[in-house]
Structure formats: structure tokens, C-alpha cells
Structure 1
């Protein structure tokens, strides 16, 4: 595809702004943004210095000059919008979850494959350079056979009883909130880095705030007074996992842990060595061995080729989430041009995530170990 890739971002909340910045950082051309109303879209386009040429989603579909549609809307809209964009011949980057059911995620992914279009899902924590370093060391056999996998993903943005978000409503956000929203990131990252597949889960979900303020179309908001509604999605989750090789894992998920802003943390314990990664401190990883431990710093002059490739700044100049997103979008655009970037999360990974979420929901309902359904969609990506 000659020239710059022309992209439109659909959805103007927090994550839409992240996509806009990443499109620019990746060298794409922002051809417009679409909000919930034409008036809101024009306002945001002016604030973000984006052309206000697309008043609604339909105008994006009709524009042959648009190459990629970034879907950043509430979860319940993803299927309809992704399906329409693919039918219009657009490549798609869709915020996770790709769909709120595995069956719909499978359908979208198959349609993208049949049309020869790129469909990517922003599991962007794969793009921390030191995550790539751990994965490369695993591929070299440095850790030996896995003995235990454990970790957590903790936030506090729903701690207040007056906190509210569209994600709380299962009709808009889907039947799972905390696990589908952030536990899915942990599962994707750990499976990809460790080269495992979780085949069984035993999950328990908990709602710690019984009622919250009614109605909001924003991701993060609070309200005092007014009507309240029963909360029907989880604030916390604890999950036992088992891989196809019988390795046990544990995961704790919370959106109500005071002081924890976005702490995705995992430890992989092998027969020869261990590794720890903390997303809130991504410039270092902890590597353990029987005779001691050491801290490895991100350094574009050392380590694996992928760590070097994704190190956008010199050692000692901190990189973070925004850099991951920019690298992800750059790889997605490279895929649009026909490349096959290592580790690009695609529709198949969105399908995988949906199956894990459904297994966790089923297990929480039955109070029993539940198999994670395996569906053959797209290439195998865990190696």
C-alpha cells in the first residue's frame, strides 16, 4: 500500500485519545474521528487537530480513502462496527474484547481472514521491550520446565461506591467486567511470554460494591446522589489455572485495590530460573536463579533483537504504556502492508481471550473446574 496509511478512530473516550496519539507516532495519517454524535465528533476533532470530515460511522465506511478503522467504542458495539468495517473493505484495530461472546469473536475473525484484511486487538503489554526479553530467554530454554505461574492485575478506579462506568452494565460492557477487562490482558501476556495454553480454570468472582450510580456513557466517572442500580458485574476475581502440561497458575484481579493504579504483575517459575515483570515498573525485570537473583534493565544496546527493536529511547530514559501502544500500531500498519510482525495480537488472540472469559464465567457459576474451549481460528501464536 503506497503512501501513509489513513486511519479513522471511532470512539472519543480515553482510549480513543491513546489510539490517536499512537496513529501519529506510527506515521499514520488521521483522516478523522467519530463520536457518539456529529456535534461531539466535530468538537473532539477540533481539540485533537483532526479533520472533521466524518460526521458518523456510515460516512467512514463509504470513504474509499480510509485504510484502517480503529474501533474504540463500548464493548457491545464492537461486533456490529467491526463487521461493517470489514464488509466495507477496511482493515480494523478493535479494542478488546473483540466481542462479548466467543462465537461472535470467531465470526469476525473468520470474516477478516476470508477478506484478506488485517484484524488486530490491542493486547499491547506484549510490546514492553523487557517482556520480549523474557520471551526470548524462554525460547532459548533459559528457564527450564515451568513449575508455577502466578500473578495479579490490580487497579483501584472502582473503589469508591460512587464510581461508575458504562463497563458496569452487562448490556453495554458484557457479562464480565474486571476479569474480561484486565484479567484478559494478564492471560494473553502470560500465555504468549511463557508459551503455554491454559486448558482449565477454576474461578470465583466477587462484587464488593452492591450498588452504583445509574447511567453514564463515560469510562471513568463519579456521581453523588441520584438513582442507584444493582451492580451485576464483578469487582474482583480469583482464578486457578492449569496448562496443557499440568502446570498450575494463580491470578488475582481487582478494580478496588486502593493505591494500585494499573499493576499487571507476573512471575514465571522454572526448573532452572524465574522471571518477574511489573507493568508499573517496566524498565526492569527480576531474574532469579538457585544461586541468587539480579535485576535486568532495558537497554537497546544489549539483549534480544526484539528488546532492541522496541526500545525507542536510550537506556535510563523511561518507556511505558504509550510507547507500547505506538509500537503495536506500527506493527499493525506493517501487517496492512503485508509484513508479519512478531507477536502482533490478532483476531485469533481476541477469540482466545473470549474463550478464557467464558470459561471463567462458567466456572464461577458451576463452582467447578471448567475446560477452556479451543477453536482453530488463525495461526498458532504461542510458540
Structure 2
């Protein structure tokens, strides 16, 4: 786990105002300078996306000086800071990307904001809504751009589905079915820091991948979950000799504030499913379905004459066309979506207002939904979402 050490006491002060983002760094000359906290898989993803978006990745810090040195060599980063606190204090860094275990997110993001840095923080933004709310309001007070990588928003065909729903093409939304299935924790011998609540927080499967599903659902619908009824399941009582206290699966029934009903199912123990994120929305006129493993198309269902719509810039709604950066027939995928997200973060830092940028407020929203899901599973009762 990343040692937050000296930054632990730099968490944001008590909340006072509603959150937002937006200080423009007009005095900066040249590309944004990025510091990466965390040298694992997500650190590599963020590093590559930052470079593709035109920034300079100038420094990295990790759980120790040795770990940072290894990450710097592997990722081709010039400076390896001996501690996270040292990286956050570095005056040569404009943006800090937090790619560390979940329980460290709040302290690290808060310290970076307190140091005047823009922040990209991996989800979940925090392991409690109180911490997440404090971060939202700290970012607002500081006037800094603070974003969470809900990157599935950045597939062009997700934007196309969203635009069709917003313009009323599918009619009144009646119901929604969403699922996110993986199999990487299928066996009792599959061990990862996320399994342990002391590192990953009180929720695993739902906080880890259910947060993406909920964000995608609410973003595409333009509606929010009002209340949930859920059950969770822990398939393996122990892993690697340690008791498991987080869920492998979660099933949720929900109602939205707009009157739609639906189901969500999240699993990290579904054999053969690698990253199967699917959202299916039924309206009074049409249905629309997006599958992350087939991101170049959406399915449009009608009582007569259903069709598969492929990405074609000439035929897409404007917000979808903006993200369609290569001609039809040249596939776009997860890496492109992640880069598009980072590019929009950096555009916001430079004063633009890109459509659909997921901020710390969206990270707070995901934490609140996760808390409601866990509470409902515990009480076996419906719970409202704050």
C-alpha cells in the first residue's frame, strides 16, 4: 500500500460550500507537468494517457523510494520522489494523478489540493461520503480542476446513446438493465489488495466496478437513482489464509427520480467475463444498448426493424463526433476513452468547459450510491440515495 506518511494530516478542511472546478492556469508556459502517485497498472495507464494528451510526466512517487525508482525506470519518468509528500510539494508539478489503494485516496487528493495542484483521483474517490464531500468542497474553495476517471463516458457511442435519450428518440424511459462482470477473482487463490477492506474500503466489487456502472447509467440517462434494494454475496470466505470481508457480487433493484425502474448486477467471479460492462435502456419507442467490449456500436431495438448502429462520424450527434478521433472502421477502445478523459481534464485546466467531464462531485455521487447499496444489503430493506 502507498505510505501516505506526512500527507495524512493534509486532508481537506471541513466542508463549507458546494463543489465545482475551474481555476485557469493562465501563467503557465508550455505543456502541463504531471506527477503520478502509484507505480502499478493504473499508474501506467495514467502515464500513457497523460503523454498522449500532450502533457509531460515529470515525476512519480510510490510506496517507497525503491518502488518509485523502479516505476520511474519502467515508465520512463525522469524523477522518482522518495515520498508522496515530496512529490506533492514539488513546485514543478501542475497536476497530480492519484493511482493508489482506495483508502489512501482522500488523504492524497486532499493534500494535493491543499498544495494548489489540480487532481485526477482514481475511483472510488474516497471510502466514505463524508471524505468525498470534503474533497468536493476543498476543490471548489481552491478553484482547482478535480476529476475522477469514469472513462466509459468517453466512448463516442456512449455519447451517441446519451444524445438519443436526451432528444427523446427512445421515448419515455421505462426500464434499465445494467451489468458489469469480471472473472479475475473467481478462485479462492486469487488475491489482491482490494479484497482486504483495510486497503480497499468496505466495498470491493461495487465500489470498484459498480461505481463505473452507476456513473455510466446516470450519465446516459440524465437521471439519478432515488432508492435501491440490494443483496451482496461473498463467494470465498477466505483468500490466502485471510478472512474476506468484502463482496464478490452485488445485485440491485432500483427506482430513478424520473420514474424508471431497473436492475444492476456486478460480479468479479463470473467465469469467462473479462470486462463485460453492458447498459440496456428501454423506452416507449425504442431500446438502446451499449456493451463496453463492443464499443464501436450501439444496438437500437424497435418492435419492428431493430438495427446495429456503427460509429460513423458523419452520422453521429455532435458530442459523439467530437470524441470520434479516427475515421469509421478504425476501432477506438478503452485506451482511447482514457486518453479522451485526460485530454478533457487538461482542457478544463486551460479554461475550457468540456461536456461531460466527471468531477469530484461525480465521485461523491458514486460513493453515496455504494453506501446505499451496502446499507440495503445489510438491512434487507429499501434505502434512499442521498
Give the shorter-chain TM-score range.
Answer: over 0.9
1:3 Cα deviation from its structure 2 partner: 1.6
Secondary structure, counterpart of 2:332 in structure 1: coil
1:364 aligns with 2:371: no
* Alignment match, 2:292: 279
For 1:311 and 1:173, how far apart are their aligned partners in 2? 35
* Alignment match, 1:299: 312
After TM superposition, the score normalised by the length of structure 1 is 0.92
CA shift digits 1:95-122 (9 cap, x unpaired): 0011000011000110000000011000
Secondary structure, counterpart of 1:164 in structure 2: coil
* Alignment match, 1:99: 126
Secondary structure, counterpart of 1:23 in structure 2: helix
- Count residues in correspondence: 359
Bigger drift between 58-67 and 251-260 goes to 58-67
1:53 Cα deviation from its structure 2 partner: 4.5
* Alignment match, 1:231: 244
Equivalent position to 1:46, from 73, 80, 92: 73
* Alignment match, 1:333: 346
1:288 aligns with 2:274: no
1:49 Cα deviation from its structure 2 partner: 1.0
For 1:314 and 1:244, how far apart are their aligned partners in 2? 38
CA shift digits 1:256-299 (9 cap, x unpaired): 00100000001000011110000001011100122220001112
Structure 2 unaligned runs (5+)? 1-24
* Alignment match, 1:350: 363
For 1:135 and 1:235, how far apart are their aligned partners in 2? 30
**Contact in 2 for aligned 1:149/1:266 (Cα 8 Å):** yes
Equivalent position to 2:41, from 11, 14, 24: 14
For 2:107 and 2:174, how far apart are their aligned partners in 1? 42
For 1:53 and 1:366, how far apart are their aligned partners in 2? 47
For 2:320 and 2:311, how far apart are their aligned partners in 1? 8
1:245 aligns with 2:272: no
Equivalent position to 1:262, from 261, 275, 282: 275
**Contact in 1 for aligned 2:94/2:118 (Cα 8 Å):** yes
For 1:33 and 1:339, how far apart are their aligned partners in 2? 27
1:317 aligns with 2:326: no
Equivalent position to 2:203, from 168, 176, 183: 176
For 2:105 and 2:60, how far apart are their aligned partners in 1? 16
After TM superposition, the score normalised by the length of structure 2 is 0.92
Secondary structure, counterpart of 1:286 in structure 2: strand
For 2:89 and 2:207, how far apart are their aligned partners in 1? 32
Pairwise CA RMSD: 0.9
1:52 Cα deviation from its structure 2 partner: 2.0
Secondary structure, counterpart of 1:201 in structure 2: strand
Q: Flag as ranges the 4+ runs of structure 1 deviating above 6 A.
A: none
